Structure 1
Amino acid sequence: MTAIAGKGLARRRLLAIAAGAPAVLAAGRAGAAAMGRVEERQFADSAVLGKDVRYSVYLPPDYDISKRAYPLIYMLHGGESGTDTDWFRFGRLNVLLDRLIGDGRFPAAIVVSPNGQRDEANRNNTYYMNDADGAFRWEDMFFQDFMPRIEERYRVIGGREGRAIAGLSMGGYGALAYSMRHPRTFIGAAALSAAFRTDQQIVTMDQPGYDRRYGKAWGLGLQGEARLNNLYRDYSVLDMVDRLPPENIKGTPFHIDCGAEDRFFDGNAILHQKLRDMGVPHGFMIRPGLHNWDYWRSGSEGALLFLGRLFQQ
């Protein structure tokens, strides 16, 4: 099982490494920036899921008056009751984008957040994975249906150089997992409080919590080490780093930001250590904070600036 020895000591050492790195705050500047717009839309009848899929899209201020193509960021929301509007409703990402674009610190870009819920009841999270029985294949839908339709509908640069992925919590996990499972697809991946667990944490999860989050993907009702099956290994970010070809991991720059008091800190710290040992360049930020919107709002600017630098290389 994956474990991190001396949890408290390791946490203090990592905090010491991060000391002096300023917390990035999405604080506004005097004066109003030109405003982009957020639209709530859907594309009809996904061939993979057999249903409509909602999404929210941010279009930059000059989208309607320009004929140029734009870089594109897929922004994945969190689990539990999370949905496609969260990044703009709670995260105020559109306000931050307007400011950064207006200040010339971030290239005008399109940001799309798909709805990662299974259905309106949302009793079982998708975690952006395919179900074990193949009945609901969210990952396949995203790559086979959603991405092609979005990139046909909007004026995007297209290809890896113009496409990035980011997310928070469940979406942070999705951003990391997709960049590793689908190499050469994204120019970069940014994860805030990525929600992935160590083997020991999976084994000891309470049954309702396990079934709600992972049961559909790895098997409902599994207990203890029976949860650590091949399906789990296929989707575990920590296992991917060890198992996948090194070029899958080294081909995409990562920005990883997790609060020191976050319940997912251990998994993020282990991932950082694995990437460091492999010699994979990546950003790893630790700041005081919990698993909540205060933390994600304060970390959004750093994530966007990281992706913006990649677009402008």
Structure 2
Amino acid sequence: MAATLLPTISQASQVRMERFASPTLGHDYPYMLYLPDGYTDSTAHYPVIYLLHGSFNSHRDWVSRGALQRTADRLIDAGHIPPVVIVMPGSLSWWVDGHNEPAHSAFINDLLPHVEETYRVGRERHHRGVAGYSAGGFGALNFALQYPQRFGAAAALSPASYLPYPPDSSSAYRHPAFLDENGEFDHALWEQVNYPAHLEEYRLRVTPRPADDESDVPPVPLYISAGRSDVHDAEFHARQLRQTMERIQPTLVNLDLYPGGHTWKVWRASLPAALNFMFQYLEGPEETP
């Protein structure tokens, strides 16, 4: 299907809407794509960031509400981050294999291979990052913990990674991803997919064995943000997440707090800091040998 070009803020970068047939989902998988200035005329392989959206939102949100193109153009033009390809996929299921859609499996098994076969992006962990807001932060954190061999950095903005369960105000209680056949919130599924379930395996993978100086898989540096007046008490949960991760990787976790709630004001403000943080650990474009 032909790409749909969207109006651009900068004539140099491109933002367009794409889709491909997903065997896991059984239907088309939509995503927005940001290509930086120079991509079309280059032969280099670029780093790629997967930028996830929140609950009941869509792949269009980072472009239409998050000022993604303007922010990326500005950071690249200023030399704060290298040119990067940014993929903004869509999910109906909180980035988990939920009751309504196997979004987790589709992301790993379908989207990543499709992007790497279709665009000139690096295929090593130092060229791949994952980030998101709210439920997308929940998903980004889980992908980083479960696949540290794939992702070289991660960012979770107001992550909906609540413990032990979501607050009463959370949309998780009415999201079809977590509603069982009786329409009830599936507490067991929440426990199965939330980040504490992945911590011990992650710790064992990224912690050097006693006789080794380094582990086979390095830890994934993690940026966290939250609004101080978040209706879901995201600051409390973000602090809890930071403390947990610092026990595993004490120098590779950063938490920023912003004025505001569970809103785009906070996520737009967080995005530059998140990208800057991730590119302390990710590498820029590499020419093909």
What TM-score, normalized by structure 2, do the two folds share? 0.83
| Cα distance, 1:265 vs structure 2 | 2.3
Look up the match of 1:6: none
Structure 1 residues 282 and 268, CA, compared in 2 at 3 Å: closer, same or farther? same
AA paired with 1:232?
W
- Could you report, residue by residue, the CA deviation over 1:211-234 in whole angstroms, capped at 9, with x for unpaired residues? 426524x775446xxx542x3322
Equivalent residue for 1:38, pick from 3, 11, 15:
15
| Cα distance, 1:35 vs structure 2 | 3.0
**Cα distance in 2 for residues equivalent to 1:300 and 1:208:** 23
Gaps of 5+ in 2: 1-8, 208-218, 285-289
- Could you report, residue by residue, the CA deviation over 1:54-82 in whole angstroms, capped at 9, with x for unpaired residues? 110000010111111100000001112x1
Look up the match of 1:297: 268
Structure 1 residues 140 and 292, CA, compared in 2 at 3 Å: closer, same or farther? same
Structure 1 residues 288 and 33, CA, compared in 2 at 3 Å: closer, same or farther? same
Equivalent residue for 2:193, pick from 218, 231, 235:
235
Structure 1 residues 249 and 239, CA, compared in 2 at 3 Å: closer, same or farther? farther
Report if aligned partners of 2:98, 2:177 keep a CA contact under 8 Å in 1.
no
**Cα distance in 1 for residues equivalent to 2:116 and 2:175:** 32
Is residue 54 of structure 2 the alignment partner of residue 78 of structure 1? yes
> SS state of the match for residue 280, structure 2?
helix
Look up the match of 1:25: none
Is residue 35 of structure 2 the alignment partner of residue 59 of structure 1? yes
Structure 1 residues 61 and 206, CA, compared in 2 at 3 Å: closer, same or farther? closer
| Cα distance, 1:190 vs structure 2 | 0.6
Structure 1 residues 88 and 33, CA, compared in 2 at 3 Å: closer, same or farther? closer
Report if aligned partners of 1:101, 1:108 keep a CA contact under 8 Å in 2.
yes
Look up the match of 1:26: none
Report if aligned partners of 1:207, 1:221 keep a CA contact under 8 Å in 2.
no
Look up the match of 1:24: none
Is residue 190 of structure 2 the alignment partner of residue 244 of structure 1? no
Q: CA RMSD in A?
A: 2.4
**Matched-pair identity in %:** 29
Report if aligned partners of 1:34, 1:102 keep a CA contact under 8 Å in 2.
no
Look up the match of 2:248: 278
The structure carrying a bigger helix percent of its residues is 1
Equivalent residue for 2:221, pick from 227, 230, 253:
253
AA paired with 1:184?
Q
**Cα distance in 1 for residues equivalent to 2:150 and 2:68:** 24
Gaps of 5+ in 1: 1-31, 118-125
Report if aligned partners of 2:138, 2:160 keep a CA contact under 8 Å in 1.
yes
AA paired with 2:224?
I
Look up the match of 2:3: none
Is residue 215 of structure 2 the alignment partner of residue 215 of structure 1? no
Look up the match of 2:287: none
What TM-score, normalized by structure 1, do the two folds share? 0.77
| Cα distance, 1:183 vs structure 2 | 2.2
Is residue 101 of structure 2 the alignment partner of residue 136 of structure 1? yes
Question: Which structure ranks higher in relative contact order (CA pairs < 8 Å, sequence separation ≥ 6)?
Answer: 1
Report if aligned partners of 1:159, 1:185 keep a CA contact under 8 Å in 2.
yes
